[in-house]
Amino acid sequence: EFLAPGAPCEINIDGKTMEKVHQEMKAPTRFTFDAAAEHVYNLLLKKDCYPRFI
């Protein structure tokens, strides 16, 4: 729903992060999506949306 190319709710992450998440999904743990979550927070919220909101 969020990581497949062309997914209806696809998130905007770089290819390196996407590959890391796909590799970790082969043997998922509770930390599988941490890299994607950190990328979204750092790139999109911390540097773009949040500073403009403040």
Q: How many CA atoms lie within 13 A of 28 on its CB side?
A: 7
By CB atoms closer than 10 A (0-12, 13-18, 19+), residue 32 is: middle
Q: How many domains does one find in the chain?
A: 1
| Residue 35 structural domain | 15-53
- Is 48 inside a domain boundary? yes
State both tokens at 54: 């403040």
Kindly indicate the confidence band of residue 51, based on its pLDDT and cuts at 50, 70 and 90.
low
Q: How long is the chain?
A: 54
State both tokens at 4: 């497949």
Reported as a single tens digit per residue, the pLDDT across 5-41 is 888 988 888 899 999 999 999 999 999 999 999 988 8
- Is 47 inside a domain boundary? yes
- Is 8 inside a domain boundary? no
In 10 A of CB 13, how many CB atoms? 20
- Is 1 inside a domain boundary? no
- Is 38 inside a domain boundary? yes
